Structures are given as structure tokens and as C-alpha cells.
Structure 1
Amino acid sequence: MHGLDTETLEMTLAAISDFAEREFTDERLIELDEADEYPADLIRRMCSEELGIQLLFIAEEHDGMGGSAYDVYRVCERMARIDLGVATSVLATFLGSDPILMGGTPEQQHHWMSRIANEGLLMAYGATEAEAGSDLGSLKTVAVPVAEDGEVVGYRITGQKQWISNGAVADLYSILANTEKGPTWFILEKGVEGFSAAAPEHKHGIRLSNTAALYLDDVFVGADALVGTELGQGLVQAQQVFGYTRLMVAAFGLGGGWEALDRAIAYSKERIQAGGPLSEKQGYTHKLIVPHALRLEAGRAYIEETAERIDEGTHGHLNTEGAIAKYIATEAGNDAADAAIQALGGYGYTHDYMVEKIKRDVRITTIYEGTSEIMEMTIAR
């Protein structure tokens, strides 16, 4: 994939940074975090003509910018440095549209992707259930065909989804349900009768994202809601994008870890102890800064290599490589954020200094889109 030219990518990153400087100040982020508030108006503005961040994920033939894996990694890292909850909300639309891109007919792809591009629709990826996280084969949600005169005219879907990003705020949902031929993706729009969301989860971190359970009570969808033309392709379609989506979460870990570490570095230059700044004391820098910078940049190197191989389009799905990138970068990011709290001492442990919040946020990167333990299993295979 060609992707964006360097100038366009840098302009995109600069526009995101400018928006963040105006709208996501430290004070505002702390306020929203403490209130456990999803900033709906700001997310909508980011996915409107004002910023148009969703266009990066969408091909040019569907009215998007046609960003490459490398472009998306760079944007995900920048978003994570602003706020991981906000970054999660934006990525959820991309993740939610993956079943359409992987399994939809050309007509479905153009219809839905162009609507996301032009209307700024938010999506949610409805796969996970209480008893089916990494093991999606255990899902209990079912889709029963509805026939008239011997022809299938739709499906009735019943079940419950758990831990769904954008769950209560999305306009469009991709829902994985069991059919007579196996797990299958369906597209649902908000407001369908029998389809509802629970109250948002009260989370440890990424509190600026909306995470909620979904309830489907005999929800009827037309036959055209089936993604593609065949039943039973859901798990195959999901597997096809893990290399890509886990690379983006790796970028989240990288961005969150570096944001925390950069704040620790700035503090170390100003904090005077025993006659000099902490930045000049090896006992401080060689424990709390240098090892974490090294691990983060090792993660970056693997992310970039994997992104380039994905963009070449000749190496398969790279699920193992995506797992390696996620494991390295998210574990490094989590450790770096923890070290940043230690680096700031008592200040780092308070709400007024952002590293405490960043640590709570970056922790999720070692859990969602496959835990670190699942990454180890994937790599071992």
C-alpha cells in the first residue's frame, strides 16, 4: 500500500497535535478522568470535517485518505500521547469496520466505508462476551434465520456482548453471532428494536472512552445485514486483521510509555537534589529513564518493520509479528509509565501530575486486543 506522502502525514500529525493543544489540556484531561466522562462532542469533532481523523483508515475509493499501516501507526502513537481513552474511541471505529473490509461485498464496503468517511459515523466491534474473550469460538450470541416462502429474508439475533469500546455511543455495530454454519458477522445500526447498551463500565483507566455491554433481545436484521454472502466466515475474517490491529495497540503502548517518560525526563532536569538536577545522577537516569527508553525504541523498531511488511502486501497476515510488536511495546510502555511515577516521587503519585493517569491508561494495552499471555501463546505457536 502506498499510503500518504511524507508532507501529508506530517500535516496530519500536526493537525492532531494542534487540536489536542486547544481541546485536551492536562487540566481538561484530569477533569474528564476524575468525572469518568466520555467527551462525546470532542470525539465527534475529531471525526468531522474539522479534523477528519477517520479518513486515514479508509481507502481513497471510499472517500478516505488511504493511509498505510505505517501512517496509521504514526497516528496511533500520536493519539496515545494525547490520551489513550480518546485514542481507543477512534480506533474502535477502525476495528469495528474490519469485518466489512475483510468479508463484505464490494457494495457493502463502499456503502458503509463511504458513510463512515462522509458522516463521521462511530463504530463498535461487538465480538467479546463474558465467556468468550480471546476464545471467540465460545461465543453464545446466536443468529437464527427468518424465512418467507423458502427464502431467508433476515435474522433474529439474541445474546450479550461485554467490554465493547464505543458500546453506548456508536452509530454502527459489527456483531459476531453463531449461525448454523458457525460464527458470522452482521452489521447493526443503533436504535434497532431489542438492541440496547448497559451503563458505561467504571474502569481503572481509559476513562475518557466509553466501554459498555450490549444486549440483543431477538433483534431482527434484514438479510443484507449479513457481512458478505456466506455464513460461518466470522472467525476467519477476524484472524485476518490481528496482525494489523495488534500493531496499532503496540503503537498505543509506545505512545503512552513515551509520554510518561518524557514527563519524567522534563521533571529530572528541573528537580534539584544534592546540589544538582536528577538528570545528572546515574542512579536515577540509569534505573528510571535509560532502560525504558531503550525498550520503547526496540518496540518502535519492530513496529516499523512489521508495518512496512504489511504495506508491502506480500507476507501474509503477519499475526505472529503483530503479536510480537504488541508484546514488546505494550509491556515496555506499561513499565515506562510505572517508572515515571517513581521518577516523580510523591508528585507522580498524585492526580495533578499526569503520569499517574497515564499509568492507569497504558495498563489496558497489555490486556485488550489480546492479553500479553495470549501474545506469548501466539508467538509460541
Structure 2
Amino acid sequence: MTAFSLDTGQIAWCAELRTLAAEHLRPLADKGEPGHVNRPLVAGLGRLGLLSRLFTSGALDLCLMRESLAQVSTEAETALALQGLGAHPVHAYGTAAQREHWLPRVADGTAVAAFALSEPGAGSDAAALALRADEDGTGGGSGGWRLTGEKCWISNAPAADFYTVFARTAPDAGARGVTAFLVPADRPGLTGTPLDMLSPHPIGALAFDAVPVTVDDVLGEPGQGFRVAMNTLNLFRPSVGAFAVGMAQAALDATLAHTTRRQAFGGPLKDLQTVAHRVAEMALRTEAARLMVYAAAAAYDEGAPDVPRRAAMAKLLATETAQYVVDAAVQLHGARALRRGHLLEHLYREVRAPRIYEGASEVQRTVIAKELYRAAAQCPEAADRPRGAGSA
């Protein structure tokens, strides 16, 4: 099963991706300004055909792309992932007109996409969205709305060309009262400001001052926006784990090289048992996380019923593992890893955010527990079944 063993073609493709990232993408990333959309880098991803693969590949291929790019250039990985996250709802739920207008531009890197779900008061609790979509009749009497409120912590904001926006069309209806909209950045009343964050990729806040939208801007069906959001996150959560695994592998590779050549206490660091055991633990956790990510992605591609649980487990384990591995790598490198510009200094800043975005680790645990209890309630006899006389 490919969830646990990649075939030779997949292994070769991953190696090719790392080469492309090193030769073509990292130079573009190095020229970018931290915290800002790097349009030459996005265009480079388009020229290499990687952005178009976002709409033709399955979840496992998406994970392989993100993991491979992250090992070489986290900036390239993030630029690819944000295009996919922002545009996937258009690909999966958009009208023919929406798809024809935006997806070719996303694929060639000339349009930057963004996924606008989080709000100042509704981050982890996505069902508590407060951005209002008030009916005003601009869409022919019953299909027009005005968006009023705020979005915050939005990747690629405020420089994106369009946003997948989730707004409340039915007050006091919880998750059932949310609608997804495709909102071009040039709509009147839509403004944004960048936020200066620990991680170097672009993040901003958006303000909606009676921004007009119509039925032609709806993604999916009115009132079904929460489903659009959750189905998108079920696809991308394992690939967030793949991003984390890529960072963990980069930190592990750097540690293997450093502890082999660094001399201390009469020999290379790798000969110290405490160092060797720490490196073994780093490798063990990285591989375990990788396998869980691949398994979750394969489950998504197969249409398995337990995708929400698997996706949450994969993101949780991989992001927590990456935090451990990068921290351990910094410790084994010593002060040099804290110097600005060092690979591990960069990874140390990058690795913290994935434990929060697209559902914090605590949210993933809640999802896992909820799915486990739901499954148990559907098969109550399993818990009450008496042990057989011959059971051990």
C-alpha cells in the first residue's frame, strides 16, 4: 500500500522536486522580502508546472510535493500550499465561470489566492464566525449580500488577488449559517493590513465594509460554507503534516552532518551515546510522523470514512514531532544554530506556526476524540461484547 511504501516513481519524483527547488526556487525565495508575497517565486512554481498539479493530484501527491519542497525551501513550499488552500474551494465548488476565470491564473502563478476563514474572535472555533453577510437585493432581489466585519491571520493577505471568504448568512445558526464566497481583492469596501509575525510568510488582516457579493460569487450552496471549509481542511491538514515532516527531515539531515564533523571531548559528537540516542529519537519520530501523514493522505484519496480523524492525527503528530526535532537539532548544534541566517534558526521560526494554523493541536485532539466517540456510538456492542472463553 502506498501509504507505507512509496514506489520507485514516487521516490524519483520527490528527488526531482528537491532538485528543482534547489536550482530554481530557492534562488527566487532568497530574493524575496520576508512577510510579503513573493510573486516571482509564485510565478516560478507556475513555470515548473507545480501549481497546476494542485488541481490534478491527489492528497498523497500533495503531501509528497510539500514534504520535498520543505526540505529545500520552506518559502517555496508555503507559496505552493497557500495557492492550493485558497484556490481549492474554487476548484471543488466553483461554478464554471469562476473556475475558468481564476484557476488558469492560479496555475500559472499570475494570480495569488488566499483562504479567509479565521477572525479575531473565531480562530479555533470556526463555527463562531461573525463576518456578516446581510441581504441587500443586489443579486436580483434575493441573491445579494453585503459583507461586514473582519478576518485575521489570513495568509497572503492583504496582497492576494482573490479570497475564499466564509461569512454568516444566517444569524444564530452555528455552522449551518455560513456561506463561502469568492471575493476578488478589488471589491469596493475591502481593505487589508499586513501583520508582522514570527514566521516569515505573508499574513494579514482584512476589513469588510459592506463589500458587495452576489449569487455569482457563492462557492457551493448558500448555508453550506462550513462544509466547504472543513472538506478543504481535511485535504490540507495531512499536507500541513507533510510540510512539518519536510522541516523535520531538513533538521535531521543537518544534525547528522554536524555531529559527524564536529569534534568535542576527543572525537566526533556522533560517538557520544547521548548524542547518538538523541539523533535516533529524532529519526524515529520523523519516520513515524511521515507514515501517519502518508496513511491519512491515502485514506483521503480512497474516500475512506475516517478521513477527519486520520487528517487530525496526521497534522497533530507531524507538527508536534517537527517542533521536537527542530528544537533537538538546535540543541545539538549549539549557539551557531541561533545565529540569524542559519538553517535551524530559520526552521525554528517556521516550525512553530503549523501547530496553530488550520486547527491548533488542541483542536486536532478534540476532532480525534469526537470521531472516536462517534464511531464507538455506532458500534456499542463492541465495547460490551464478553470475552470468549479462549481469549487471552
Shared fold per TM-score greater than 0.5: yes
> Is contact 2:17–2:68 with CA below 8 Å preserved after alignment?
no
Letter matched to residue 142 of structure 2: V
Aligned to 1:103: 93
> Is contact 1:192–1:219 with CA below 8 Å preserved after alignment?
yes
Letter matched to residue 114 of structure 2: A
Q: Tell me which stretches of 4 or more aligned residues in structure 1 moved more than 6 Å.
A: none
Deviation of 1:330 after TM superposition, in Å, equals 0.8
Q: Which range moves more in the overlay, 290-299 or 238-247? A: 238-247
Deviation of 1:245 after TM superposition, in Å, equals 1.1
> Is contact 1:36–1:202 with CA below 8 Å preserved after alignment?
no
Deviation of 1:46 after TM superposition, in Å, equals 2.4
Aligned to 1:263: 254
> Is contact 2:147–2:209 with CA below 8 Å preserved after alignment?
yes
Letter matched to residue 378 of structure 1: V
- Please give the alpha-carbon distance, in whole angstroms, between the structure 2 residues aligned to 1:302 and 1:149: 46
Mind listing any 5+ residue stretches in structure 1 that lack a counterpart?
A: 59-65
- Give the secondary-structure state (helix, strand or coil) at the position aligned to 2:160: coil
Letter matched to residue 206 of structure 2: L
> Is contact 2:179–2:223 with CA below 8 Å preserved after alignment?
yes
Per-residue CA shift, 1:338-358, capped at 9, x if unaligned?
A: 001111112122224211210
- Give the secondary-structure state (helix, strand or coil) at the position aligned to 2:46: coil
What RMSD, in angstroms, separates the aligned Cα atoms of the two structures? 2.7
Letter matched to residue 354 of structure 2: T
Aligned to 1:212: 204
Q: Which range moves more in the overlay, 131-140 or 38-47? A: 38-47
- Give the secondary-structure state (helix, strand or coil) at the position aligned to 1:213: strand
- Give the secondary-structure state (helix, strand or coil) at the position aligned to 1:184: strand
Deviation of 1:15 after TM superposition, in Å, equals 4.8
Deviation of 1:16 after TM superposition, in Å, equals 5.3
Percent of aligned pairs sharing the same letter = 31
Which one of 217, 224, 228 corresponds to residue 225 of structure 1?
Answer: 217
Aligned to 1:62: none
Which one of 188, 195, 199 corresponds to residue 190 of structure 2?
Answer: 195
- Give the secondary-structure state (helix, strand or coil) at the position aligned to 1:358: helix
Deviation of 1:76 after TM superposition, in Å, equals 0.5
1:304 aligns with 2:302: no
Letter matched to residue 169 of structure 2: T
Deviation of 1:143 after TM superposition, in Å, equals 1.2
Aligned to 1:24: 26
**CA separation of 1:149/1:323 partners in 2, compared to 1, >3 Å: closer, same or farther?**
closer
1:274 aligns with 2:265: yes
- Give the secondary-structure state (helix, strand or coil) at the position aligned to 1:240: helix
- Give the secondary-structure state (helix, strand or coil) at the position aligned to 1:67: coil
> Is contact 2:136–2:146 with CA below 8 Å preserved after alignment?
yes
- Please give the alpha-carbon distance, in whole angstroms, between the structure 2 residues aligned to 1:98 and 1:220: 22
- Give the secondary-structure state (helix, strand or coil) at the position aligned to 1:252: helix
Per-residue CA shift, 1:116-169, capped at 9, x if unaligned?
A: 235642110011000001212211111122326963353211111000001122
1:42-121 equivalence runs, <5 A: 42-49=40-47, 51-58=48-55, 66-105=56-95, 108-118=98-108, 120-121=110-111
- Give the secondary-structure state (helix, strand or coil) at the position aligned to 2:146: strand
Deviation of 1:231 after TM superposition, in Å, equals 1.4
> Is contact 1:97–1:174 with CA below 8 Å preserved after alignment?
yes
Which one of 275, 286, 295 corresponds to residue 277 of structure 2?
Answer: 286
1:144-223 equivalence runs, <5 A: 144-147=134-137, 151-152=141-142, 154-180=144-170, 182-198=177-193, 200-205=194-199, 207=200, 209-223=201-215
**CA separation of 1:120/1:250 partners in 2, compared to 1, >3 Å: closer, same or farther?**
same
Deviation of 1:19 after TM superposition, in Å, equals 4.0
- Give the secondary-structure state (helix, strand or coil) at the position aligned to 1:192: coil
> Is contact 1:268–1:278 with CA below 8 Å preserved after alignment?
yes
Aligned to 1:63: none
Mind listing any 5+ residue stretches in structure 2 that lack a counterpart?
A: 171-175, 371-392
Letter matched to residue 130 of structure 1: P
Aligned to 1:14: 16
- Give the secondary-structure state (helix, strand or coil) at the position aligned to 2:102: helix
Per-residue CA shift, 1:47-70, capped at 9, x if unaligned?
A: 432x23211111xxxxxxx11211
- Please give the alpha-carbon distance, in whole angstroms, between the structure 1 residues aligned to 2:326 and 2:109: 36
TM-score if structure 1 supplies the norm length? 0.86
Per-residue CA shift, 1:224-260, capped at 9, x if unaligned?
A: 01113x3110112222233221101000110111111
- Give the secondary-structure state (helix, strand or coil) at the position aligned to 1:283: helix
Aligned to 2:339: 350
